[in-house]
Amino acid sequence: MKKLRPLFFILIVLIALGMLHARLLGMAVEPFLEKVMTRVFDMPVHIEGMRISPFLSRISIEKLEILNPPGFRRRDHFTCKGIECELDLRVLKNKFIRIRKAHFKKVIFAIESYMTSKGSRTNVWHWYHNMGLDEDSPPIPPRAMPDPDNIGEDSWRTRIDRLEMEDGSIIFDDRRESEEQRWIFEHIKGYWTGFDYLSNYTSPTFTETIQVEATFGVNPPALFKGGGKCQFADGDNFDVETQITDGSAAEYGFLLSGILGEVQSGTYDLKSHLRCVEGDLKSEHLLTLKSMTFEAPSPAQKLLKYPFEGIRLLLEDQKNVELNIKVDGYIGDPKFRVFSAFTNAFQKALVDKTKAGITGTVQLATSAPEQVKDGLSKLGAILTESFIFQEKTDDKPNKGKKND
């Protein structure tokens, strides 16, 4: 019996190692990955509870934090609690990183912008610029789609078959004006399929799909839905439809700045179709303002905002006011901002609608600015379009794009 004791001890050790090997491998990789990601993003990165199971081809992380650099009010820029990834390790030898499924449980993505002596600064643009994603690239000659397993390719390839989000939040704090604005998407759930990035290859068609549901705003939260085809692996390419239902007009009263009296109540619906090919955005929006009421204007407001009396009467008199708004532009142009372009188009449409005597739908288009540089990626465009570095002066020569 005594001779069997060492065997039992070895067996117990092997079982323990088998149970703990995933965590032990994770602990060994954590500091290396933190160092690499910190250098790539130029932001402090912390990883907790990483587990690597090579036999099951799985990686899990309990918590991932990307912290803001100095100058930002909020501590964290990106936080995710619960990441699960299923890998295809058999193609790794072919310079192919393939993630069959990535699942994010709880995510907070906090975007923040403020003014400096050199202009607007944002945390998204900080890492976007550090990674060199805003640099101009020469045109890519057409080539055939590589082997499905990347056999024979010299360049690394990254593919995410399916990315799922269970409970996400996007918080956008705009501190550039004295009256700060906040935009909030919460309870985000959805998926993104077909991301496939290969150096020196551009897909001739949109092969990716995205579908998202969320709540928008907090007073009260409105329902947001959106989705469609996209091609983010190659640049600014998407064709999506979105809608916001029963949003609070009072929460975004700055859109109605200048009108007599502050917004007291009312809701809005917004249906949008956005198509962007290599940074050239074409979008149409149907905005419906419903049951609007305003507080009684003060004598000072009547004096300073007299021209907007007609708009207030229009909004309060009509149960529903529909506005067709068209916003076109090149999202790689430092002068073009989607939010401000939409706000300007909305306000002009409202004025024209009032002048038209409440009848019909006013069509309004904002002309596209001159195309001055290559398009940004979808992430960089939609989330950072308002915050492009002012250091990039307007007279910078165009590269890789011809002016219209």
Q: Which amino acid is at 392?
A: K
Q: Does residue 374 have a pLDDT over 50? A: no
**pLDDT by residue (tens digit) across 337-361?**
677 778 778 877 877 777 765 443 3
Q: Which residues of 275-290 are buried (b: 16+ CB within 10 A; e: fewer)?
A: bbebbbbbbbbebebb
Question: How much is the average pLDDT of 108-125?
Answer: 90
**pLDDT by residue (tens digit) across 20-53?**
678 888 999 999 999 999 999 999 999 999 999 8
**pLDDT by residue (tens digit) across 244-295?**
999 888 887 666 665 656 777 888 899 999 999 988 899 999 989 888 887 7
Whole-number pLDDT of residue 258 = 58
Which of 68, 66, 38, 32 is CA-nearest to residue 50?
Answer: 32
Question: How much is the average pLDDT of 150-165?
Answer: 91
> What is the number of other CB atoms lying within 10 angstroms of the CB of residue 219?
11
Pairing of strands 208-216, 222-230: antiparallel
Tokens, residue 94? 């072919």
pTM for the structure as a whole: 0.75
Whole-number pLDDT of residue 377 = 36
Tokens, residue 280? 């050239």
Whole-number pLDDT of residue 385 = 40
Pairing of strands 51-53, 263-277: unpaired
Whether 159 contacts 147, CB under 8 Å: no
Whole-number pLDDT of residue 317 = 76
Question: How much is the average pLDDT of 316-331?
Answer: 84
Output the average pLDDT for the chain: 78
Instruction: Determine which of 89-103, 267-281, 298-312, 375-389 has the lowest per-residue pLDDT on average.
Output: 375-389
Q: Which amino acid is at 160?
A: I
Residue scoring higher pLDDT (105 or 318): 105
Q: Cα–Cα distances in Å, from 165 out to 33, 63, 100, 227, 351? A: 22, 15, 15, 14, 41
Quote the DSSP letter at residue 3: G
Question: How much is the average pLDDT of 223-232?
Answer: 94
Q: Does residue 390 have a pLDDT over 80? A: no
Give the C-alpha separation, 331 to 224, whole Å. 23
Which of 146, 182, 190, 128 is CA-nearest to residue 165?
Answer: 190
Give the C-alpha separation, 242 to 338, whole Å. 15
Which of 230, 218, 176 is CA-nearest to residue 340?
Answer: 176
Which H helix or E strand runs over 286?
A: strand 280-294
Whole-number pLDDT of residue 7 = 56
Q: What angle do CA 295, 347, 299 make, to 5 degrees?
A: 30
Tokens, residue 126? 């900080």
Give the C-alpha separation, 332 to 372, whole Å. 7
Q: Cα–Cα distances in Å, from 62 out to 90, 104, 274, 318, 366? A: 26, 10, 36, 52, 46
Whole-number pLDDT of residue 5 = 57
Give the C-alpha separation, 402 to 404, whole Å. 6
Whether 234 contacts 199, CB under 8 Å: no
Question: How much is the average pLDDT of 211-218?
Answer: 92
